[in-house]
Structure 1
Amino acid sequence: MTIKPEEFTKSGLNFAVSFANTAFDGIERLAVLNLAASRSLFEAYASNLNALLGAKDIQSFVDLQKGIAAPSIEKGMEYSRNVIAIATDAKEKIAKEVEVHVADTNAKVSGMVEKALASAPAGSEVAVAAVKTAMKSANEAFDGLNKVAKQAAEVAEASVSAATQATIKATTAAAPKAAAKKAA
């Protein structure tokens, strides 16, 4: 198996193009999400302001605020979930592409090293073994780092999800208490 330098260059270029396409796709999805959220926020603001201006007394004003708060918080949480989903999707696509690229490059380099080591002079078995061990260690280190990165991403996603749920619960519980204090 003969590997030409052009193959490494082409492989790297293909990886860069794939990475750029994934990044641009994520950016485009975020832009669409942000435009939709901005439009929704403006429409809700105008509607809520009109409703609040139409309040006849303090109690109806407080009731309107309470009714407005929960949907606004839920929209904010939905926006956060969408941003996380877009980022997670991009991260997974890039991680998969990196894995494929590294495996391909590793196979090519291993083939070249094996070919070079096969033609090594007699008595260089120790050096050949050292090179093979170094390659194996590097591959294991990459696999370990990849697993740690995946675990860290899973922990971060779980933390964001837990924080989102806690915020929703806290806000839902705090809204009736705040309304009761204002009414008293």
Structure 2
Amino acid sequence: MTYISPEQFANAQKANVDAMYRFAFEALNSFEKLVTLNMQTIKTSLDVNAARWQGALSGKGAQAFFEVPEGAQPLVERIAAYNRQVFDILMNTHAALTEQAGAQYERQTRKVQSGIDEAAKSAPVGSEAAVAALNSVIHATNSWYDSLFKTARQAVETAESNMNVVAGAAKRAQSSVPQAVAGRK
């Protein structure tokens, strides 16, 4: 029978704690990026609105309030850029966490497989079927994990593609607005 030594147990616990902290650090890093982006977005919005109010109150009339201040992006472009940055932060975080989870999964799978191999060496005669069943379960789990990972990657790629289509459509719609307004004058 195979026993786990205290050193093996301690090493396994250290590896698990290390993995947990890597996950937590990545999540906190992502949160920090989102907070920074939101603060920058708020500052930009305040600057644009202040410029609009200044223009409207400086004698240019109420129409100046609705014009895009010089040097500022139109609202649709700012929204598209913001959404793109949020999406990039989330996708980078997803990729990093997925990579860490995959590496952790691989380490655990190797440990389980080596444990099964070690147990098979000292197993009684006739237990080959049980060992084969365990190996089959591990292989099926690995296949399931791979297909799940590929499906998640395809979903991310589809979401990114959809985000690009929406951003392009918003930009085209924004560029057609000045032409429509100019046609009304």
Separation (CA, whole Å) in 1 of partners of 2:149 and 2:117: 25
Structure 1 vs Structure 2: percent identity of aligned residues? 25
Deviations 1:28-79 (A, max 9, x none): 1111111111111101101012223446568xx27x7354596222222222
Selected match of 2:51 from 41, 47, 65:
47
Long gaps (5+) in structure 2:
none
Counterpart of 1:159 in structure 2 is 162
Aligned length: 179
Separation (CA, whole Å) in 2 of partners of 1:145 and 1:165: 30
Higher relative contact order (CA 8 A, sep 6+): 1
TM-score (normalizing by structure 1)? 0.86
Selected match of 2:128 from 111, 125, 130:
125
Selected match of 2:115 from 112, 133, 137:
112
Amino acid at match of 2:12: F
Selected match of 1:30 from 27, 30, 34:
34
Separation (CA, whole Å) in 2 of partners of 1:5 and 1:56: 75
- CA gap of 1:9–1:126, structure 2 versus 1, over 3 A, is same
TM-score (normalizing by structure 2)? 0.86
CA-based RMSD:
2.3
Counterpart of 1:75 in structure 2 is 78
Q: Say yes or no: does 1:88 pair with 2:91.
A: yes
Separation (CA, whole Å) in 1 of partners of 2:176 and 2:73: 10
CA contact (8 A) 2:77 2:170 kept: no
Amino acid at match of 1:118: K
Long gaps (5+) in structure 1:
none
Counterpart of 1:65 in structure 2 is 66
Deviations 1:105-163 (A, max 9, x none): 11111111111122111112222211111111111111111111111111111111111
- CA gap of 1:123–1:2, structure 2 versus 1, over 3 A, is closer
- CA gap of 1:143–1:131, structure 2 versus 1, over 3 A, is same
Give the C-alpha shift of residue 98 in structure 1. Answer: 0.6
